[in-house]
Every structure is written in structure tokens, then in C-alpha cells.
Structure 1
């Protein structure tokens, strides 16, 4: 079997694993609660934006396996770390907002947010694949801004807890994209 064929099969496997973990997350209350308990560990908050980098690297190398493995890791990283002994009140408040958000049923706002998230991932993959670096940089910056703005607007003051991980992740993503762009030239 050709490497490209194996790569596509790997990509499809990780795409289905990602969909499966999201379905389990949203349909199994005990798993949902367990995941959010572990998501109190803010190390997961810092690591999640960094998965944009291997997604971009996967698109740069035109590797479906790397792209969808990275997306799988991004979604599962919320529960990689143990529950911390001490949790900041703002973190608890923000996670309570997110839990309510996920369990309160569908609305037009949620459909728009989901479409925006899917458009973000599609854009960063497509822009990298086609080597449109300025568009990629703009998309990453706009995506980080929208994540922070949505969190601050809809969760109240507790949304401030995601600003530092989002900004640090954005800075690292910009540096890596800049490095790839400069290397490409």
C-alpha cells in the first residue's frame, strides 16, 4: 500500500476517533463530569492552543494523519492532566459556564459558534496547504481574538481566566508560522 493511501486511512481513523470522543463527551454524563474535573488543571488550557502548530505542520506536509491526529489530541487534551489540588475560583466559574453551555441544548448562537469553529479549522488547514501565510496568520489571530471575546462576553468575569493561555498560545503559533514562512522563502 502506498504511503499516501496509509496517510489518508490514518486521517480517516483519527477523524472518526475525534467524532466518537465528542459524541461520548456530550452523551455520557459521567465521562463529561470526569473530563471537566480534570480540565480544572490549567496545564490543559495552555497546551490546547499549541495543537494549532502540529495541525499547521500536518497541512504544510499535506499529511491527513498528522492533521487529524493533532485535532484528536486537541480535543482529548482537556483530560490528560490530573485534577489539581487547588483550583482558582475564576477557573471553576468559567468551567461551570462551559458545562452549562454544553448541556443547555442547541440554539442559533451555538450553531453559529460550531460553524465558526469548523470554518477556523478548515481555514488554517486550507491556507497552510496552499501556502497562503498572511491569510493563515490573520486566521490564527482572529480565531484567538474570537475565542477570548466569546469567553469574556458570555461567561462574565470568569472568562479572564483563558486570556493568558490564549495569548501565549497565539504568540507561539505566530512564531512557528513566521518561521515556516521565512524558511519557505
Structure 2
């Protein structure tokens, strides 16, 4: 039964529409971190983890996409043989999402943008490093997602008159401050 579910989910993961929407989960994640909503952050993480099988399987799978997903599947299936690189990759994902939430929790749009851009660059670099030529399949969805996230955050900052800075926002310290 578990294998049937995994096969069902994997077939849907080959639909690259999910590859394009997944980076956009950065926006609600940032929003809920800014609002300091643990519930919103948790729901966004659940949505992010399930989004890979929201779409139907494609009629035809790009061979580069298939090769990349086969590489990822092989890594996951060999989880018993945890290599240091695999463990580092998992820690990098958890750490980067934690850093992203922390940046917005602390109201730093500048650091949030730095982390978003770093996540996208590292995702592409890891994909090419681990997947070889098939890793390039990640480039366009990551670039589109990055561009949309950056533009949305910059637009919101300008609309709400929020500074985009790497410095911590000042707080009033007393009368007349």
C-alpha cells in the first residue's frame, strides 16, 4: 500500500508545474514568519511537502526531468546508506528554511532576500552537482520562482514603506526617540 502511494506520488512529481509553484511557497512562509504565526508556518511547510503531487502525471515526461528525478529517488531509496553529502543536503534544506523564517521573524527584508537568493543558487548548484546534465532541468523553475519571490517582496516593501536592509530595524529606546 505504501509503495502504491509512493508510485502514485512519484508519477505526479514528474509534472513540472509543481516545480514552478514550489519556490513560490517562500512567499507565504515569509509572510507567516513576519506575522510570527507558527500555525501558518506549519501549514505552509505541509503544503510545500505535498505540492509535489498536486498535479496529474504529465502525458509525456521530459527525459532530463525523468533522469533528475531518478537520481533523487535513488538518493532517497538509499537512505540507509547515509553519505555525509546526503546528510549535509538534508541539514542545508532544514537550515535554510529555518534561516528564512528567522530573517522574516526578525523583520529583516534584506536578510530574507539574501537567504531566498542563496537557497535558489544552492538548489541549482546541488542539482547540477548531483544530477549532472539532468540537474539543469531545475534551473528555469528555480529562476522563475526566484524572480517572482524577489519582485513580490520588493513590491510589498515599497508599498508598505518598509526598508530593505541588512541591518536590524531600530526600536525606540525612550522618550523623544
Structure 1 stretches of 5 or more lacking a match?
1-26
Larger C-alpha radius of gyration, 1 or 2? 2
Query: What is aligned with 1:152?
Result: 128
Among candidates 10, 14, 34, match of residue 60 of structure 1 = 34
Which gives a bigger RCO, structure 1 or 2 (Cα 8 Å, sep 6+)? 2
Residues 1:77 and 2:58 are matched in the alignment: no
Among candidates 53, 57, 61, match of residue 87 of structure 1 = 61
Structure 2 stretches of 5 or more lacking a match?
164-177
Q: By how many angstroms is 1:48 displaced?
A: 0.5
Q: How does 1:161-176 map to 2 (within 5 A)?
A: 161-176=137-152
Q: By how many angstroms is 1:73 displaced?
A: 0.6
Residues 1:48 and 2:22 are matched in the alignment: yes
CA distance in 1, matches of 2:153, 2:2: 37
Q: TM-score, normalised by structure 2?
A: 0.85
Query: What is aligned with 2:175?
Result: none
Query: What is aligned with 2:90?
Result: 114
Listed one character per residue, the Cα deviations across residues 9-38 of structure 1 (whole Å, up to 9, x for unaligned) are xxxxxxxxxxxxxxxxxx933322221111
Residues 1:180 and 2:149 are matched in the alignment: no
Aligned residues: 159
Q: By how many angstroms is 1:85 displaced?
A: 0.7
CA distance in 1, matches of 2:155, 2:140: 23
Residues 1:133 and 2:109 are matched in the alignment: yes
User: Considering only aligned residues, what root-mean-square deviation do their CA atoms show, in Å?
Assistant: 1.4
SS in structure 1 at match of 2:144? helix
CA distance in 2, matches of 1:80, 1:155: 24
Q: Which runs of 4+ in 1 moved over 4 A?
A: none
